[in-house]
């Protein structure tokens, strides 16, 4: 298992510059007063392809040799990684195949196809996803770019925190959502090297809390098909992301479905940005645990904005 280094992140930073946005940081006096902390929202919902995963995907795709690239790339994804890999592959002019749960938001399936990717559907479980994906790789011979358990992807995701600390200076903590752990791992990689005093907190839905349970148990616990409104956070940790979580994460905090939805509404209302439910989990956990962040300067990573506008979570029922 190759563990990415600071040097890998710095190479990624230069490699992906032509292909990604340096996303803005927003603040809200209202949300600062509500939480008792000074919050800095890193808006990866405004990233190319609508999510931070454009960083890792671009690093992986543009790091391929010509021979590797000629075979194309493939992955499995609930949406954002597949969209972003299709985006990066399109920029390089190579084919991309994405295995997606049939229950994934239609907006995310449409986005993959919109960037020229091919969608192959599977059942909404990790076991089905991996089985169908194995068939795709056997058929195409494509280069596998894992959504998060890939050193190239983690190095790319680490560029987000590099920008954040350059944009806002000293922070006491950074909070990011956790599913498979790619963004959290990249955050740990960068901050442990460039700003080692900053605490990294992971935020997770209570209904898909396998990372929190893994963190407390000291080993990976994987749920096969959890149900949560935060559809981007349903996948389990893997060996590489677990390394960063167990080594560098201060704590993993959880929020209920209702808390996630209320936080999402708050961000839409106060920051005036479109973001998906997975991106609301960090604010939900900050609101739930004000004593942890009281008086601190806190970076909050808004990971993506690819929400199905016809199925907003507060319109359920």
Q: How far apart are CA 259 and CA 254, in angstroms?
A: 10
Phi, psi (degrees; rounded to nearest 5) at 300: -125, 120
With a cut of 80, say whether residue 129 has pLDDT above it: yes
Tell me which residue has tokens 């979580």: 245
Over residues 186-202, mean pLDDT: 98
Tokens encoding 77:
């994804």
What H or E segment, with its residue span, contains residue 121?
A: strand 118-122
pLDDT score for 317: 52
Distance of CA 127 to the CA centre of its chain: 21
Cα three-residue angle 223-225-227, rounded to 5 degrees: 110
In this structure, what token pair is assigned to residue 315? 């319109």
Q: Which CATH number fits domain 6-51+151-315: 3.40.50.12280, 3.40.50.1100, 3.40.50.300, 3.30.300.20?
A: 3.40.50.1100
Domain 54-144: CATH class, spelled out: alpha beta
With contact defined as beta carbons under 8 Å apart, do 74 and 44 qualify? no
What is the pLDDT, as a whole number, of residue 315? 83
What is the chain's mean pLDDT, rounded?
A: 95
Helix 6-16 / helix 151-168 crossing angle, nearest 10 deg = 80
The tokens 């407390």 sit on which residue? 216
Task: Kindly give the interhelix angle for 6-16 and 182-194, rounded to the nearest 10 degrees.
Answer: 110
Q: What's the CA angle centered on 259, arms 256 and 265, to 5 degrees?
A: 145
pLDDT band at 67 (very low <50, low <70, confident <90, very high): very high
**Local structure of residue 75 (DSSP, 8 states):** E
CA-wise closest residue to 105 among 274, 312, 273: 312
- Summarize the chain as % helix, strand, coil (round to 5): 55, 15, 30
Positions of CATH 3.40.50.1100 in the chain? 6-51+151-315, 54-144
- Distance from CA of residue 15 to its chain's centroid? 20
Question: What does the longest C-alpha to C-alpha distance in the chain come to?
Answer: 55
**pLDDT surpasses 80 at 105:** no
> Is a pLDDT exceeding 70 seen at residue 316?
no
CB contact burial 115-130 (16+ within 10 A = b; e otherwise): bebbbeebebebebbe
């Amino acid at each position: 298992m190759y563990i990415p280094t600071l040097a890998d992140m710095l190479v990624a930073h230069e490699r992906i510059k032509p292909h990604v946005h340096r996303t803005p940081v927003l603040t809200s006096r209202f949300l600062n007063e509500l939480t008792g902390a000074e919050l800095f929202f890193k808006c990866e919902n405004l990233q190319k392809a609508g999510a931070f995963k454009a960083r890792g995907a671009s690093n992986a795709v543009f790091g391929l040799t010509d021979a590797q690239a000629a075979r194309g790339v493939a992955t499995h994804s609930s949406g954002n990684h597949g969209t972003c890999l299709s985006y990066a592959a399109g920029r390089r002019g190579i084919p991309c195949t994405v295995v997606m749960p049939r229950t994934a938001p239609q907006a995310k399936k449409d986005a993959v196809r919109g960037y020229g990717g091919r969608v192959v559907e599977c059942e909404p479980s990790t076991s089905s996803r991996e089985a169908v994906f194995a068939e795709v790789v056997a058929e195409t011979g494509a280069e596998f770019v894992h959504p998060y358990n890939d050193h190239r992807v983690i190095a790319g995701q680490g560029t987000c925190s590099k920008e954040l600390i350059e944009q806002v200076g000293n922070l006491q903590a950074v909070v990011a959502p956790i599913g498979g752990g790619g963004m959290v791992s990249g955050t740990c990689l960068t901050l442990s090297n460039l700003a080692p005093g900053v605490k990294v907190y992971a935020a997770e839905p209570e209904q898909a809390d396998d990372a929190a349970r893994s963190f407390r148990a000291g080993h990976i616990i994987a749920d096969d098909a959890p149900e949560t409104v935060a559809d981007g956070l349903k996948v389990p940790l893997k060996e590489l992301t677990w390394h960063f979580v167990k080594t560098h994460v201060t704590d993993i905090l959880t929020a209920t479905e209702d808390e996630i939805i209320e936080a999402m509404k708050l961000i839409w209302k106060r920051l005036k940005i479109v973001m998906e439910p997975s991106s609301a989990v960090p604010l939900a956990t900050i609101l739930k645990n004000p004593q942890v962040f009281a008086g601190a300067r806190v970076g909050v990573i808004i990971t993506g904005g690819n929400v199905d506008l016809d199925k907003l979570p507060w319109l359920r029922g």
